[in-house]
Structure 1
């Protein structure tokens, strides 16, 4: 019988850049594609971002081993330079393996920013699971820091 594992992931990450610049890296299709979609060894098959409440983000990638991964995202709440709330599902070779609700809190921290990422996920059999997801988001936030010149 298929099962689902539920988990909450929280990652706090400081950035030297001010909140408006960190937020812009999430809201611009060009910026987000550069740090989110274009990982080393991965081939971007599709990336589209309609950043507005009710808007969507879709992406498909081929891993170096040929496995295809996809994200399907819907934005539910956006407060400029402060907060993004979205739900997303992930698929591997066309099979959905997780569904999550995620919140990005962008907070001033001195001259920089403290980003708080919170994900509440349901992870299905055969998927990545919470530990791998946390590692993945940590790598993505490191890529965001590099994009910001940190």
Structure 2
């Protein structure tokens, strides 16, 4: 008997932020591996098992991690950079899921676009994600992903202030 395929839901969301930093500085927070790790990879009470970051078109970024205090589950993120236009745009595709004894159990597959627009002396960032969510309750996962991406972009804002 085969295991039934998990339920599937599609979702698209857009998050906007404005930063008091030039598009060049915001782009640098993406392109610099140390800066990117601080605001994107690390989190309070998180355990990072491994992380690789190759910021170029065709480059791979990803690794495995555990959220602090929530569960003992190990998660993974496998990302490919599809398009990079310096100081203007970054497009990636990525898969996230759990690491199990049997291997990687995918929970979602997404296409994410980050646009950087000059806004006076600052930057208006527009993040749009289109995804297929097929782990757990997929509709709840969409809302959770949007919330998590919003928190991630707030961390980017703190990174830009701390390293101005």
TM-score w.r.t. the length of structure 2 is 0.87
* Of 145, 148, 152, the match for 1:133: 145
Q: Distance in 2 between matches of 1:87 and 1:76?
A: 7
Kindly report structure 1 stretches of 4+ aligned residues shifted beyond 2 Å: none
* Of 69, 87, 99, the match for 2:75: 69
Higher Rg: 2
Paired residue total = 150
- Partner SS for 1:36: helix
* Of 30, 34, 44, the match for 1:40: 44
Q: Distance in 1 between matches of 2:79 and 2:41?
A: 14
TM-score w.r.t. the length of structure 1 is 0.95
Per the alignment, residue 59 of structure 1 pairs with 63
5+ unaligned residues in a row in structure 1: which ranges?
none
* Of 27, 34, 39, the match for 1:30: 34
- Partner SS for 2:132: strand
* Of 18, 24, 29, the match for 1:20: 24
CA-atom RMSD in angstroms: 1.3
5+ unaligned residues in a row in structure 2: which ranges?
none
Q: Establish whether residue 95 from structure 1 lines up as the match of residue 105 from structure 2.
A: yes
